[in-house]
Structure 1
Amino acid sequence: MRSFGLAFNARFEQWMFLIIPGSLVLGFFFSGPLQRFVPAVPYLFAYVTLTMAIGCGLGQLRTVVRRPGVLVLTFLIAHVLSPLVAYGVGALFFGPESPYVVGMVLFTIIPLGVSTVLWVGLSGGSIPLMLAMVVIDSALSPIVVPGGIRLLFHQAVKTDTGDMIRDLLLIIVVPTIIGVTLYELSKGRIQNAVKPFAAPISKLCFVAVVLLNAAAIAPYAEQLGGDLLRLVPLSLAMVGICYAIGYFGTMPYRDRELQITVSYATGMRNISLGIVLAMGYFSPLTAVPVVLSILIQQPLATVHHYVLQKLHKTTAGVEG
């Protein structure tokens, strides 16, 4: 059973760039029968957060704290520069009060994505640094997400900030605290002990979150009309810009491992949380740019990985 769980998890990660978009399409096609399960999304998401957090202990968090400049720079790029770019580009094409603009900004404000750790490892970045940044960023989300939305859209968007903070605490912060505590109590052994069972279930919960949120959005798809012709290239450009500013923003450090880590951190976000928040607190159309980002950020992660390998070979050739 243990070997089956580990093999399933490895296969899922290998084919994630196809599985997640496929789940999205299935959610749209079978939205009718899936609608009644949508209320389960926050609980599924809380479990995903818990399984992520049990891989991070206080030691990794202290490593990040010892490099506050890296942490601050990453968060500034991810949650200040990126939202401003998203707001400017979105407002230019749709007007500042458009729900699509809110969705584009929401994508840049939500915490760093858990799947980032996989790509950082494949590309030669720092897994402990990335994992710790994901945990810290997730813990700060009850402040960052509603704060960022209120600063940019205080007149255009009305939402219940108190309820949003409460939900973020329940589905992000509390599971994160529990996960880190379990890691410490087990002296780091818990992740390997439960991974064959917990990781596959977490992947299935992740698929369910995407599936159910797609089902929730489906009834509003007909309202999009010709907007998709502008939304798709804009979302593609926005995700690509987030990868690029993370990479070039850390060039002064002259540290390839750091550049790889931060570029993935700023390019990949916790999209499941973005959809949960978009559907729970904003117009359903707000979720459309977030959903498009699901389709885009994993394939772009593959492209980014390829580009990073080419850059590394070129640099190594020049130095040689």
Structure 2
Amino acid sequence: MLRIMNRFIERWMPLLTPISLTIGIIYADFFKPHSYLVPWMFAFITFSSSLSITLRKIGEALRHPLPIFTAIIIIQGIIPVIAFAAGKWLFPSEQWIVIGLVLAFSIPTAVASILWITIYHGNVSLALSTVILNTLLASLFVPATLVVFFRQSVALDTAQVMNGLFWMIAFPSVLGIAANRMTSGKMTRCQVVFSPLAKLALLFVIIINGSVVAPFILNMNKQVFGVTTVVFFIACTGYLLGHFSGKLLRLNAADRVSLLYLSGMRNIGVGSAIAVVYFPPAVALPVVIGTLFQQLLASFFGRILMGMPAAGKQEKIIKTEEEDD
């Protein structure tokens, strides 16, 4: 039964994601009071996604660290600066929107990027190592980025944000990797149960996101349209930076594929959880908007820059922002 449920959710996730967002918007009054559950849901999602990670795979990628460091610089350095500059230029009087833009593009890379990297024959070990390192360091990177850009203009409880990130990301990740290690990989069998439940948890998080941003969506105006446009173009910039950085560094084809997706995709679930729990609703708007086209952009840039995936691989196309999102 759980296997059937898992396959169904995976197959229809591109449709279930906007449906869940719509449910949250329509029934905002019912779901918004339950936003306190988001950190718990996301901690479970992170733990579930970490069960298949091994230290051996991480070690393989760390022997060649240049692509990892390049991805981290793009993810945590260049793109957040672009997001801040665009926000201050286009929304100078909307401080919370600017914070939302920076948050949306300072969160770690997406776990779902690994699936796209597999489709286009990228370096999976490199992807796993980057995702793990970026995820574990997120509890430091994200608060530090917010402090650098906004400490003088907005009162930020960075200690609380850091604590929340530790329990939502760092601790569950380490716990999942340790469980896999201590049981010699036997814990991966539990994913028959955990995987569909993690996907349901993700859909619940998306519903909560919808309930939080409902006032903005239901009162669509130029500002919401502008935020959507800015998020779209910054997301595209991430992919392009990853692609051309790989060419500039003369990486092999597999590493270039990995750098493309690691730089372009974001763990939107983390961003939305932080925005919903620690900030006003306006901060969540840019983050949640990212769920609308993250998978579409992943497919588009893969086909345009890397060509069509090998026969038989297309069916694996990312189903979700999943354990990422």
TM-score under structure 2 length normalisation: 0.89
Match of 1:60, as an amino acid?
K
Q: Does 1:117 align with 2:114?
A: yes
Q: Pick from 160, 182, 198: which aligns with 1:202?
A: 198
Report SS of the residue matched to 1:253.
coil
Any conservation in 1 of the 2:122–2:258 contact (CA below 8 Å)?
yes
Distance 2:307 2:110 in 1: 24
Report SS of the residue matched to 2:194.
helix
Q: How many residues in Structure 1 have an aligned counterpart in Structure 2?
A: 309
Match of 1:310, as an amino acid?
G
Q: Pick from 68, 73, 76: which aligns with 2:70?
A: 73
Q: Does 1:23 align with 2:20?
A: yes
In structure 2, stretches of 5+ residues that fail to align are 311-325
Match of 1:37, as an amino acid?
H
Write the deviation string for residues 150-171 of structure 1: whole angstroms up to 9, x where unpaired. 1111212221111111111111
Structure 1 residues 151 and 248: CA distance shift in structure 2, 3 A: same
Q: Which of 277-286 and 288-297 deviates more? A: 277-286
Any conservation in 2 of the 1:17–1:299 contact (CA below 8 Å)?
no
Structure 2 equivalent of residue 316 of structure 1 = none
Write the deviation string for residues 106-159 of structure 1: whole angstroms up to 9, x where unpaired. 111111111111111112212232122212111101110000111111212221
Q: How does 1:68-147 map to 2 (within 5 A)?
A: 68-95=65-92, 98-147=95-144
Structure 1 equivalent of residue 54 of structure 2 = 57
Distance 1:104 1:230 in 2: 12
Any conservation in 2 of the 1:117–1:131 contact (CA below 8 Å)?
yes
Distance 1:93 1:196 in 2: 46
Report SS of the residue matched to 2:293.
helix
Cα offset, 1:183, TM superposition = 1.0
Report SS of the residue matched to 1:250.
helix
Q: Pick from 143, 163, 167: which aligns with 1:166?
A: 163
Cα offset, 1:98, TM superposition = 2.4
Q: Does 1:231 align with 2:227?
A: yes
Q: Does 1:259 align with 2:237?
A: no
**Percent identity at matched positions?**
26
Any conservation in 2 of the 1:90–1:96 contact (CA below 8 Å)?
no
Report SS of the residue matched to 2:105.
helix
Q: Which of 93-102 and 198-207 deviates more? A: 93-102
Any conservation in 1 of the 2:120–2:309 contact (CA below 8 Å)?
no
Q: How does 1:155-194 map to 2 (within 5 A)?
A: 155-191=152-188, 193-194=189-190
Q: Which of 216-225 and 81-90 deviates more? A: 216-225
Q: Pick from 214, 218, 234: which aligns with 2:214?
A: 218
TM-score under structure 1 length normalisation: 0.90
Q: CA RMSD in A?
A: 2.0
Structure 1 residues 254 and 170: CA distance shift in structure 2, 3 A: closer
Match of 1:261, as an amino acid?
S
Any conservation in 1 of the 2:97–2:285 contact (CA below 8 Å)?
yes
Structure 1 equivalent of residue 276 of structure 2 = 279
Cα offset, 1:223, TM superposition = 6.5
Distance 2:307 2:234 in 1: 23
Cα offset, 1:283, TM superposition = 2.6
Match of 1:204, as an amino acid?
L
Match of 2:243, as an amino acid?
Y
Report SS of the residue matched to 2:90.
helix
Structure holding more helix per residue:
1
Structure 1 equivalent of residue 300 of structure 2 = 303
- Runs of 4+ that moved beyond 4 A: 220-224
